[in-house]
Structure 1
Amino acid sequence: MESLKNRLNRFMVGRYGIDQLYYAGLFLALGLMMINMMVNSTILMILSNGLIVLIVLRGFSRNISRRRMENEKFSKVWNTIKKEGRIFFRRIKGIRTHRYRKCLHCKKTLKLPIKRGKHMVQCPECKAFFVVRVIV
């Protein structure tokens, strides 16, 4: 068993391996497979199997700089999506206590307590005053 482990380690030397894009592709392929189990589509089967082959070949690639650049581009997009999702769920969680409005001048999002009616608000970023109307 130890010799198999050593052979596998020698095989992977100089290859790219697993990263965040690998895991995202794997979960996407598994999701496509789950959907395919319900709808039984040949196209989904080909897509999911092709994606798995592509992911594995990417992991065995020796072009490390190119794979790293791909992962950086993916991470940039994924982190913005993750950040927006976090903000969205935080807003949903605090919907009973706060409202979110954008400053008309600097476009910064302000977290305001719920006070019904029209109110003058000062933006902490640009110090501009503007009217906020809260209905509910």
Structure 2
Amino acid sequence: MNLERFKEKLVKFMSGRYGIDQLYYALLLLTMVLMLVNLKVDSLILMLLSNGVILLLILRSFSRNISRRAWENKKFLKIWYPIKRKARMLFRRIKEIKVHRYRKCPNCKKTLQLPVKRGKNTVKCPRCQEKFEVRVIL
């Protein structure tokens, strides 16, 4: 009974407030990294910086200026998604190194996924139909 009343009060308090988004999680991760580094370094500056980020997290999540917080998150995602895409591609390349090689077409710059054929091979780009030579050593 007490827990239900607390839940209702919390829902009522958070209505009209921004809450949690992807930028919140990124800042939370940054805070944890700063705190872990500070355990080894023991720096006042790192401690103040991590506490400042925590304060920013609290202020953002309880903010009533929803349009501004959504705009901040949108700007963050505009920067984050290309980084995430490149990291995924890098891990995919490492994972598939025994079966595929990735090469860029010199004409249209599209990244092609090629089967591993050792030696010198001629490849035709599916996008621009350009033929070019590819060398696979390993």
Give me the TM-score of the superposition, normalised by structure 1: 0.92
Distance in 2 between residues matched to 1:23 and 1:101, nearest whole Å:
34
Structure 2 residues not aligned, in runs of 5+? none
| Cα distance in 2, alignment partners of residues 68 and 98 from structure 1 | 40
Q: Is 1:76 the equivalent of 2:78?
A: yes
Of 72-81 and 106-115, the range deviating more from structure 2:
72-81
After superposition, the C-alpha distances for 1:33-76 in whole angstroms (9 at most, x for unaligned) are 11111111111101100000011001111110111111112122
The residue number in structure 1 matching 2:122 is 120
Picking from 82, 102, 105, the partner of 1:103 is 105
SS of 2:20's equivalent? coil
Corresponding letter in the other structure for 2:112: L
Does residue 54 in structure 1 map to residue 56 in structure 2?
A: yes
1:19 CA drift (Å): 0.9
CA deviation string 1:56-101 (max 9, x = no partner) = 0011111101111111121222222222111111100111222111
Q: What's 1:35 paired with? A: 37
Per the alignment, residue 85 of structure 1 pairs with 87
In 2, Cα distance between equivalents of 1:80 and 1:70? 17
RMSD: 1.4
Aligned to 1:45: 47
- In 1, Cα distance between the equivalents of 2:36 and 2:29? 10
- Asked if 1:135 corresponds to 2:128, the answer is no
Deviation, structure 1 residue 21: 0.8
* Aligned pairs, number: 136
Structure 2 residue matching 1:47: 3-state secondary structure: helix
Partner letter of residue 102 of structure 1? K
1:65 is aligned to 67
Q: How many percent identity over aligned positions?
A: 61
* Bigger mean CA deviation after superposition, 120-129 or 109-118: 109-118
